[in-house]
């Protein structure tokens, strides 16, 4: 019982920290990005700079029935939290976006913990491949003019 309460408290704290961090990041960026990406849920792996969210790294994994049940439970809990945030009248659009992003990251972190060690290795491999591709693409981009 105490572990569940601690996990819920930690999830809320993480969401609030994400909210504050995202607000600071939004204020720090003066120029809009060249292309807008639709947000996708992040994986629990280390994100180098918290920029655009990666694609679904969990696609193609074969889950056991127990894993499927646990993942469905996690998804339902996350969706209920997101619904509350979406309906909140006291939050700005940026705050809502940050909270929703935070809940998505928490969800994917929890799903990652449900995976077997072999499945976690597969996900980490996809993460590393994406990072290598992002770094290669970043090297090929011309530097932005900063005024």
Q: What is the DSSP string of 32-67?
A: PPSS-----PPPSSPPSSS-SPPP-TTTTPPPPHHH
Q: What are the tens digits of pLDDT across the range 71-89? A: 999 999 999 999 999 998 9
- Alpha helices, DSSP H, located in the chain: 2-28, 65-87, 93-114, 117-140
Residue 77 pLDDT: 94
pLDDT reading at 40 higher than 50: no
- Is the whole model's pTM more than 0.85, yes or no? no
Of 22, 14, 3, the C-alpha closest to 81 is 14
Q: What are the tens digits of pLDDT across the range 89-138? A: 998 999 999 999 999 999 989 999 999 999 999 999 988 988 898 888 88
Residues 6+ apart with CB under 8 A from 110: 74
């Amino acid at each position: 019982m105490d572990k569940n309460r601690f996990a819920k408290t930690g999830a809320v704290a993480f969401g609030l920290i994400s909210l504050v961090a995202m607000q600071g990041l939004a204020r720090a960026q003066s120029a809009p990005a060249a292309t807008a990406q639709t947000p996708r849920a992040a994986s629990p792996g280390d994100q180098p700079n918290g920029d655009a969210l990666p694609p679904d790294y969990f696609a193609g994994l074969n889950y056991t029935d127990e894993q499927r049940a646990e993942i469905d439970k996690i998804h339902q809990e996350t969706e209920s939290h997101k619904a509350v945030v979406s309906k909140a009248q006291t939050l700005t659009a940026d705050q809502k976006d940050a909270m929703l992003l935070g809940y998505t990251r928490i969800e994917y972190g929890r799903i990652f913990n449900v995976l077997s060690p072999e499945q976690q290795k597969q996900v980490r491999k996809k993460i590393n491949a994406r990072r290598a591709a992002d770094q290669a693409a970043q090297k090929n981009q011309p530097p932005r003019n900063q005024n």
